[in-house]
C-alpha cells in the first residue's frame, strides 16, 4: 500500500482533540478500559467560504429552502458529488485514548511537577552510562604520560582505553501491580456528581492500567458517616449509590487502613482481601463535596498513620467553586478545612483539586492535569 497521504489522518485527529469535538462519556471510558473500541461520530469540519444562503446542494434542483436557514441551509452547500457527507466515524481504543491524554499534556513518560518522586519510583531503570569527565581525565593522563601534551597542548583524542563508565547504581524498581481504591462520598448532596465522578475515576483507572500493564485491582469504598466496601463487579451501580445521613471521613480512611493492615472491615464483597502494600503500589482517589461532620484532630491522626503506606492520594472535591454557590456558605467552610488538612499531611503524596460539576472536555482535561501531574 502506498502512503502518499502520510500522517494526514493523525493531523485530523489532533485537530479534533484540540477543538473539543470528541467527547467521551463515562460509559465510553468503561468500554475502553475493558478493551473495546468505541465508535464516535464527529460532524465534518468545513473550511468556511463565502457562500449563498439559499442555494442547497448543487446536485439537486429543488430550491425550496425557506429563508435564512442558518443551520441547515448552509450545511449542505458542499457538492452533492461525494455521496453522503454527514459525519466522520472515529474509533477510540486504548491506544487512541492514551494518545489523546498525551495531547492534553498528561504524560505517560515524562516527570511532572508534583509526581517527581512517583515518577522515579515508577520508571527508574538500571543502566550504564559513559562518564564524560572521568573519560577526559583518563585521556589527559595518557597524554601527559606519553609527552603528547607537552608537544601539542590540549586536544581531544579519546581512545577505547580512556573510556570510563559510571558505577552501576541500584535503583528502586516499581512494583509490578497496583491497587486503586476509589473512596466515594454517597451522601445526598453528591447525587448530581455521579457522571462526573465516574468519568474522572475511569480515566485515572485507564492511566494506571497503562502504567502497570493492566495489573491493577480496583476496590470501591462508599461512605457516609459509616463506610463499607462495594461489590467490584457492580461498577456502574457504585457511581449511582445514594444514601441519607451525615458525612464523616474518618470511618472511610479507617476502613482503608484496615484493608491495608488485614484487620476486619465491613464489605459487600464475600472475599475480604487485604491489600499487600509492601509488594503493591496503592493509589487512593477520594471524591467528595468536602462536607465533613467530624472532629478534625481524630481524622488527622488516622491520615498520618495511613499515608506512609500509600503511593499516591488523589483528592477530588466537587461542588460549586465560585461565589454563586447554591448551597451557600456552610459548605464552603467545611470544604476548605479538609482541603487544607489533607494537603498539609504529606505534601508529596497528595494531589488535590476542586472542581465544579462540569464533565465537559476542557474541565476534565484541567482536573486530570492537576491530579496526575
Partner 1 sequence: MEKGSLEKLLVNGEEIKVLATRGSIIDERYTEEARKIAGFMINNLGLSFGNVEFKILDNDEFAEKVTLYGNPLPSWEAGQEKLVQEDSMKYRQGVLYEMVGHRFYIPLNQKEEFTAVYINKNNTYDEVISVMAHVYGHLHMDYNNRLSRSIDANSNKHAHYRERYREMERVLGVKTVEKLYDYAQTLGGLIDLFPDFHSQNKKDYYATDNSFPQENIYDVYRFTIDNLKLNGWEKELLEQMHDINQLMKGARIKIMHEGFATFVQDKYIEEVAKTDVGTAWKMRNFLLGIADVLSPAQMPYYLGFRLFKTIEKRWNEGRHGPVYNMLSDNEKRSYHTDEGRGLDEILNITKSYTDWEFIFSYADLDFFKDLAREIQEKRNIMIEQMYGSTYPDYIIKRIEAASNAGLDPDLLRFQLLLETENYGPTVYIPEGSFKGDKLYLRQDLSFITRYASAIKTEEEKEEFDSEVYQMFSLDNRYTVKSLHRISKLWGIPVILETMNSGGKPLTLTSDGGKLYRSEKGNGPKFSD
Using CB under 8 A as the binding rule, whether residue 65 contacts partner 1 is answered as yes
Question: Which residue among 21, 31, 74, 369 contacts partner 1 (CB under 8 A)?
Answer: 74
Using CB under 8 A as the binding rule, whether residue 80 contacts partner 1 is answered as yes
Using CB under 8 A as the binding rule, whether residue 95 contacts partner 1 is answered as no
Of 17, 43, 202, which is closest to residue 100 (Cα–Cα)?
A: 17
Q: CB of residue 8 vs partner 1: minimum separation in angstroms?
A: 4
Q: Which is nearer to partner 1, 82 or 127 (CB)?
A: 82
Using CB under 8 A as the binding rule, whether residue 92 contacts partner 1 is answered as no
Yes or no: say if 218 and 205 are a contact pair by the CB < 8 Å rule: yes
Which listed range, 63-71, 106-114, 208-216, 294-302, lies at the site for partner 1 (CB under 8 A)? 63-71
Yes or no: say if 369 and 325 are a contact pair by the CB < 8 Å rule: no
Q: CB of residue 307 vs partner 1: minimum separation in angstroms?
A: 43
> By rule CB under 8 A, what count of residues binds partner 1?
51
Strand order across the 227-230 sheet: 227-230, 216-223, 178-185, 281-288, 312-318, 350-355
Q: How far apart are CA 364 and CA 206, in angstroms?
A: 14
Site string for partner 1, 155-194 (x = CB under 8 A): ----------------------------------------
| Strand ranges, E, within the chain | 38-43, 87-92, 178-185, 216-223, 227-230, 281-288, 312-318, 350-355
Q: How far apart are CA 260 and CA 276, in angstroms?
A: 7
Using CB under 8 A as the binding rule, whether residue 62 contacts partner 1 is answered as yes
Segment holding 2, helix H or strand E: none
Using CB under 8 A as the binding rule, whether residue 54 contacts partner 1 is answered as yes
Yes or no: say if 173 and 124 are a contact pair by the CB < 8 Å rule: yes
Question: Which residue among 63, 244, 270, 324 contacts partner 1 (CB under 8 A)?
Answer: 63
Residue at grid coordinates 500493564? 213
Question: Which residue among 20, 23, 52, 295 contacts partner 1 (CB under 8 A)?
Answer: 52
H helices within 279-328, ranges in order?
A: 296-306
Of 358, 246, 252, 247, which is closest to residue 302 (Cα–Cα)?
A: 252
Instruction: Give exposure, 337-356, as e/b (b: 16+ Cβ within 10 Å).
Output: ebbebbeebeeebbbbbbbe
Q: What is the DSSP letter of 19?
A: T
Which listed range, 62-70, 132-140, 169-177, 259-267, lies at the site for partner 1 (CB under 8 A)? 62-70
Using CB under 8 A as the binding rule, whether residue 73 contacts partner 1 is answered as yes
Using CB under 8 A as the binding rule, whether residue 99 contacts partner 1 is answered as no
Using CB under 8 A as the binding rule, whether residue 78 contacts partner 1 is answered as no
Using CB under 8 A as the binding rule, whether residue 96 contacts partner 1 is answered as no
Site string for partner 1, 13-32 (x = CB under 8 A): xxx-----------------
Question: Which residue among 35, 37, 53, 362 contacts partner 1 (CB under 8 A)?
Answer: 53
Question: Which residue among 23, 55, 168, 176 contacts partner 1 (CB under 8 A)?
Answer: 55
Using CB under 8 A as the binding rule, whether residue 352 contacts partner 1 is answered as no
* Helices and strands counted in the chain (H then E): 13, 8
Q: Which is nearer to partner 1, 57 or 232 (CB)?
A: 57
Please tell me whether residue 41 adopts helix, strand or coil conformation: strand
Segment holding 258, helix H or strand E: helix 250-261
Binding site for partner 1 (CB under 8 A): 1-2, 4-15, 44-55, 57-65, 67-68, 70, 73-74, 77, 79-85, 88-90
Amino acid at each position: 500500500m502506498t502512503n502518499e497521504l502520510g500522517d494526514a489522518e493523525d493531523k485530523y485527529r489532533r485537530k479534533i482533540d484540540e477543538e473539543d469535538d470528541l467527547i467521551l462519556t463515562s460509559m465510553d471510558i468503561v468500554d475502553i478500559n475493558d478493551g473495546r473500541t468505541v465508535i464516535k461520530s464527529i460532524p465534518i469540519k468545513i473550511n468556511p467560504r463565502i457562500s449563498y444562503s439559499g442555494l442547497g446542494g448543487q446536485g439537486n434542483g429543488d430550491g425550496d429552502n425557506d429563508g435564512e436557514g442558518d443551520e441547515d441551509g448552509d450545511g449542505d452547500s458542499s457538492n452533492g458529488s461525494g455521496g453522503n457527507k454527514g459525519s466522520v466515524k472515529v474509533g477510540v481504543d486504548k491506544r487512541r485514548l492514551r494518545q489523546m491524554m498525551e495531547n492534553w499534556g498528561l504524560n505517560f513518560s515524562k516527570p511532572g511537577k508534583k509526581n517527581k518522586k512517583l515518577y522515579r519510583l515508577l520508571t527508574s531503570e538500571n543502566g550504564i552510562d559513559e562518564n564524560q569527565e572521568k573519560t577526559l581525565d583518563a585521556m589527559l593522563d595518557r597524554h601527559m604520560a606519553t609527552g603528547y601534551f607537552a608537544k601539542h597542548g590540549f586536544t581531544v583524542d579519546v581512545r577505547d582505553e580512556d573510556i570510563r563508565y559510571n558505577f552501576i547504581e541500584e535503583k528502586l524498581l516499581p512494583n509490578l501491580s497496583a491497587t486503586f481504591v476509589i473512596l466515594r462520598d454517597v451522601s445526598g448532596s453528591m447525587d448530581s456528581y455521579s457522571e462526573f465522578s465516574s468519568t474522572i475515576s475511569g480515566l485515572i483507572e485507564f492511566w494506571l492500567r497503562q502504567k502497570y500493564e493492566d495489573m491493577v485491582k480496583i476496590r470501591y469504598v462508599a461512605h457516609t458517616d459509616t463506610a463499607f466496601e462495594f461489590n467490584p463487579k457492580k461498577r456502574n451501580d457504585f457511581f449511582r449509590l445514594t444514601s441519607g445521613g451525615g458525612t464523616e471521613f474518618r470511618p472511610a480512611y479507617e476502613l482503608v487502613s484496615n484493608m491495608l493492615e488485614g484487620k476486619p472491615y465491613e464489605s459487600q464483597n464475600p472475599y475480604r482481601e487485604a491489600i499487600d502494600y509492601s509488594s503493591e503500589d496503592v493509589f487512593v482517589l477520594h471524591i467528595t463535596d468536602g462536607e465533613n461532620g467530624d472532629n478534625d484532630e481524630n481524622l488527622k491522626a488516622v491520615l498520618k498513620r495511613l499515608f506512609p503506606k500509600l503511593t499516591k492520594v488523589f483528592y477530588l472535591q466537587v461542588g460549586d467553586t465560585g461565589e454563586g454557590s447554591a448551597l451557600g456558605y456552610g459548605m464552603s467552610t467545611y470544604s476548605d478545612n479538609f482541603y487544607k488538612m489533607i494537603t498539609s499531611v504529606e505534601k508529596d503524596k497528595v494531589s488535590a483539586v476542586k472542581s465544579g460539576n462540569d464533565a465537559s472536555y476542557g474541565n476534565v482535561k484541567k482536573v486530570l492535569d492537576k491530579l496526575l501531574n
